[in-house]
Amino acid sequence: MDGTMVKAAVVQAAPVVFNTSRTLEKLADLTLDATVEGADLVVFPEAFVGGYPKGLDFGARLGSRSDAGREDFRRYFESAIDLPGPDSDLIAKAAQTNKVHLVAGVIERDGGTLYCTAVTYSPEGKLLGKHRKLMPTALERLVWGFGDGSTLSVVESAIGRIGSVICWENYMPLLRMAMYAQGIEIYCAPTVDDRETWLPTMRTIALEGRCFVLSAC
């Protein structure tokens, strides 16, 4: 950063479950609200588009799955988005229309696998980068694939070097070091973790990495 003041908006909101089109409308509306308040950067929570399936077990037991659980997964799979694709184009449009940097948690569909992904768009609507969560936590592994180190990137932008680390990944020391080594300045941490322990974790990262940390739950 060159010392220019940057105003960031951290969105604390939930999607419309199993309704991607309405969720994308909500994303566009909330992005507009933030930019009216002067935001240069808007950060949405983990899995905002596609949804975090909190409380669902998809009917899975070792050796079997229930019909109702299979139906839940079918709906969840269909709520995910393709990158690139028509749904992700609407996220790009929200960034471009409002001339804002936009970071959003999405459930990305690639072939038959879903990934918990964070995307970063420029004010021109260009996809600057995407990061797939490396290690889904606990039962998340039932529905999400594993990312790999190739998406651990920090991207250049007009407001500074932006990177995203998703939820439990923030407890992985080597992953944090990989971000610091790339000179991250704006550290985005989309999450669903609403425990009291989360805030001191974010403060520790800000001090440890000498960066600005933005966490959306």
pLDDT band at 4 (very low <50, low <70, confident <90, very high): confident
pLDDT at 133: 97
pLDDT band at 177 (very low <50, low <70, confident <90, very high): very high
Residue 180 within a domain = yes
Give catalytic status of residue 126 as yes or no.
no
pLDDT at 149: 86
Predicted model pTM: 0.94
pLDDT band at 38 (very low <50, low <70, confident <90, very high): very high
Give catalytic status of residue 167 as yes or no.
yes
pLDDT band at 3 (very low <50, low <70, confident <90, very high): low
pLDDT band at 24 (very low <50, low <70, confident <90, very high): very high
Q: Annotate the chain with DSSP letters as a single string.
A: --S----EEE------TT-HHHHHHHHHHHHHHHHHTT-SEEEPPTTTBT---TT--TTEETTEE-HHHHHHHHHHHHHSB-SSSHHHHHHHHHHHHHT-EEEEEEEEEETTEEEEEEEEE-TTS-EEEEEE-SS--GGGGGT-----GGG--EE--TT--EEE--GGGGG-HHHHHHHHHTT-SEEE------STTHHHHHHHHHHHHTSEEE---
**Type of residue numbered 172:** M
Residue 1 within a domain = no
Q: Count structural domains, the chain.
A: 1
Share of the chain above pLDDT 90, in %: 94
Give catalytic status of residue 46 as yes or no.
yes
pLDDT at 92: 98
CATH number of 133's domain: 3.60.110.10
Average pLDDT of the segment spanning 36-62? 95
Q: Smallest Cα–Cα separation from 51: which of 114, 93, 137, 100? A: 114
Q: Catalytic pick from 133, 169, 211, 217?
A: 133
Average pLDDT of the segment spanning 93-113? 97
Tell me the per-residue pLDDT of 63-75, one tens digit each, with 9 for 90 and over. Answer: 999 999 999 999 9
User: Is 70 exceeded by the pLDDT of residue 1?
Assistant: no
Tell me the per-residue pLDDT of 113-153, one tens digit each, with 9 for 90 and over. Answer: 999 999 999 999 999 999 999 999 999 999 999 999 899 99
Q: Catalytic pick from 26, 46, 108, 211?
A: 46
Residue 97 within a domain = yes
Q: Catalytic pick from 108, 116, 167, 169?
A: 167
Which range of residues forms the domain containing residue 32? 8-214
Residue 184 within a domain = yes
User: Is 80 exceeded by the pLDDT of residue 2?
Assistant: no
Residue 169 within a domain = yes
Residue 2 within a domain = no
